[in-house]
Homo-oligomer: A and B are copies of this chain.
Amino acid sequence: MGESQGTLRDVAHLGHVELLTPKPEESLRFFCDVLSMQEVARQRQSVYLRAWGEYESYSLKLTESRQAGIAHTAFRAWSPQALDRRAQAIEASGRGLGWLDGDIGHGKAYQFTDPDGHVLELYYESEKYQAPDALRPALKNQPQRTPNHGIGVRRLDHINFLGRHPASNRAFMQQQMGAMLTEEIVLDDGTESGIWLTFTNKAYDVVYTMDATGSTGRLHHIAYWVDTREDVLRAADIYLEHGIPIEFAPGKHAIAQGFFLYAREPGGNRIEIATGSYLILDPDWKPIIWSQADRAKGQAWGTPTVATFHTYGTPPVVPEERR
């Protein structure tokens, strides 16, 4: 890992994800009514959605599909030069898929896969969101008025991929994307079973955890940010009133110390409402290593991790496994 830790700085941040859903109408209502996201565009089988605090046009492309899962995950490069540098390096690594013309809200994008087969994209040109009159905020330093209903998620925070070999994805993310490894689970046999990576001062933007089913290319969850733990507790009550089954009630992760709430949107994808955690300002951060013994203690306050966390992902591979 050593030298590759955070020296490239060519990737600015996680930009957006394309989520697949077999129940597009119900998923859309979940993101709009319950999470308070805003529709900004529609095209073919996709609806583009944003959270109120995002400076770009959207963070979620919700696409109708036969089954749930993650179609692609896009990162914004730091500059046009950074975009070209990364594209060339990834091309040379053999994982490149080539350039795309872009999509609603952003310019040309370089497409590639991580070793686990998740489709990734990198772009630089990005339209900044301009709120229409009805959504203009009272304070000019926020992109959009805060919503008056629902949980009110602020911005896409991170993505957690499931993967067959987190370590190979970790190496790719560090070497080709310049990600910094911040925390890590290393089993007694040396297997790296969980990987926390960042491109920013946040403790993590991308996570890889071991897929206990041995599948590849699956999604564990995406997370939307709220500002306070009270917001997370309030979100749990909103889920309760909306009949959204809660998979993992609010609690505090030991790793990265995030405060969480997990549920599944109607299409089956796991969604986290997240806050807490900490900022990393150190340019030569030494990754935190969690052992098997550490992990046996459960989450920060001793709560055992729900069993479905290790096997359920999208697309689901064990059909009956729905909570």
- Asked if A243 is at the interface (CB within 8 A of a chain B CB), the reply is yes
Most B CB within 10 A of own CB, among A13, A202, A257, A279: A279
Look across to chain B and name the residue whose beta carbon is closest to the beta carbon of A231: B230
In the bound complex, residues from chain B placing their C-beta under 8 Å from that of A322 are none
In the bound complex, residues from chain B placing their C-beta under 8 Å from that of A303 are 249
In contact, A249 and B301 (Cβ under 8 angstroms): yes
In the bound complex, residues from chain B placing their C-beta under 8 Å from that of A240 are 138-139, 300-301
Report the interface size for chain A: residues with CB under 8 A from the other chain.
68
In the bound complex, residues from chain B placing their C-beta under 8 Å from that of A270 are none
- Asked if A288 is at the interface (CB within 8 A of a chain B CB), the reply is yes
A236 to B253, CA, bound (A): 13
Segment touching B, from A146-154, A167-175, A215-223, A312-320: A146-154
How distant is A173 from chain B, measured CB to nearest CB, in Å? 18
Which residues of A line the B interface, CB within 8 A? 7, 9, 12-13, 33, 53, 55-56, 76, 78-79, 128, 137-142, 145-146, 148-150, 183, 200-202, 227-231, 233, 236-243, 245-246, 249-252, 254-257, 259, 276, 278-279, 281-283, 285-286, 288, 290, 294, 299-303
